[in-house]
Amino acid sequence: MLKKRELKTLEEVSILKQSLKSCQSGCNESSKSNTETRERRIVPQGQESQVAFHAHLSNNVQNLGIHQAIHFDKVLLNEGNGYSVHAGEFVAPVSGLYVFAWTILSGDRTCMKYDVVKNSVVLAYYISDAADHDDWAVSSGTAVTRMNSGDRVWIRVSDMLFCSHIVYGAGFGTSSFAGYLLH
């Protein structure tokens, strides 16, 4: 009876060894595929990949000068600590592909011309224009850009032509600025 058990155990060990050998020869290919899949994920794994911010204005901002940054003072999220309320800008803590989104409000008979800037280069130019009517105007946009660690993005007043440059943060909505690391 003991011999039968030993033989059965030996057979099981032999089967397991064969399975292990076939797995080892195929596992390398499988692990390559898994690594490639991991690298193509939208959000990379790891603590350093958790980069996102969302801030908005808590009050209307007036008397902005040409090329003055808009300081979105109410921070709702700042994973990775990339957004600075004091500077009004986002500084990339890690290199990668980033997505930025914003909404700028203008009130009755006002308008706001503004730039979305990366390292002193204008990525986008927008206007939120209610200058000739009694109604609020809203402009929103999205930008996708590759950033190196330390690169900066902010929203600033563009030029003063024909606009009062009051940014609304209270009333029928609020102006906001958000971004996150895509990959």
From 182, 118, 125, select the one nearest 150 (Cα to Cα).
118
Of residues 22 and 118, more confidently modeled? 118
Per-residue confidence (pLDDT) for residue 21, from 0 to 100: 59
Q: Quick one: residue 4, left, alpha or beta (phi over 0 = left, psi -120 to 50 = alpha)?
A: alpha
**Residue percentage of the chain with pLDDT more than 70:** 69
pLDDT in tens, 104-157: 888 777 778 889 999 999 998 887 766 666 777 788 899 999 999 999 999 998
Four-residue CA torsion sign, 159, 113, 101, 84: positive
User: Does position 31 have pLDDT exceeding 60, yes or no?
Assistant: no
Say which amino acid occupies 131.
Answer: A
User: Does position 7 have pLDDT exceeding 50, yes or no?
Assistant: yes
User: Does position 99 have pLDDT exceeding 90, yes or no?
Assistant: yes
In this structure, of 10-24, 72-86, 95-109, 127-141, the range with the lowest mean pLDDT score is 10-24
pLDDT, mean of residues 54-80: 93
Four-residue CA torsion sign, 122, 56, 106, 168: negative
Most confident region among 30-39, 109-118, 159-168 by mean pLDDT:
109-118
Per-residue confidence (pLDDT) for residue 28, from 0 to 100: 44
d(CA 21, CA 106): 69
Per-residue confidence (pLDDT) for residue 30, from 0 to 100: 41
